[in-house]
Amino acid sequence: MNARFETAHTNGMFRAGFASSRAVVAMTGYYEWVEMDDGKQPYYVHATGGELLHAAGLTTAEQNSDGEWDVSFTIITREAKDAAGDVHDRMPAFLDDELMVDWLAPGKLEKDEREHLHGVLGDVSETVAASLVTHPVDRAVNNVRTLDRSDSALIAPIELE
């Protein structure tokens, strides 16, 4: 499950994480799928220059019945903008280097601080979205049982017929 940008800072399920358990999820890009007549076509969404993207995330920690801590994270998603919107209606909310400093600052944010950070995240995320491009990739991406995750061909552009 992803946290919706629109409500992550106010929703009971994610509000506490937004206030004090923020994380950064680094990625070179991500996949989205478009339903075609002959199945799902994967697309790779990434920055034009291939630079690393930083998605806004939230963490949770819960002690299980064995006394061990289970730590998980979720990515904040928002309405897709620019190229990402060509293949899917949602996309990660992205951070730039400057916002990452505030995003990862320790301590608990009060309501007005959460609202301010939420607004800045919205603005910065739209700016980062303007640098995204997308292209179709081989459908080998669709089979997690047979793909080699280190194969750079999985993000190589292909021509669609």
Tens-place pLDDT, residues 101-152 = 999 999 999 999 999 999 999 999 999 998 899 999 999 998 888 888 888 8
Residue 102 in contact with residue 117, Cβ under 8 Å?
yes
Residue 58's nearest CA partner among 73, 69, 71, 70 is 73
Distance separating alpha carbons of residues 137 and 92, to the nearest angstrom = 20
Say yes or no to pLDDT of 87 above 80.
no
Class of the CATH domain delimited by 3-155: alpha beta
User: Residues, the chain, total?
Assistant: 161
- Domain positions in the chain are 3-155
pLDDT at 83: 65
Distance separating alpha carbons of residues 12 and 114, to the nearest angstrom = 13
Instruction: Write down the mean pLDDT value for the chain.
Output: 91
pLDDT band at 84 (very low <50, low <70, confident <90, very high): low
Distance separating alpha carbons of residues 143 and 33, to the nearest angstrom = 13
pLDDT at 32: 92
Say yes or no to pLDDT of 9 above 90.
yes
pLDDT at 57: 97
Residue 102 in contact with residue 47, Cβ under 8 Å?
no
For residues 21-37, average pLDDT = 94
Q: Which residues contact 72 (CB under 8 A, 6 or more apart)?
A: 59, 60, 62
Say yes or no to pLDDT of 86 above 80.
no
Give pTM, 2 decimals. Answer: 0.88
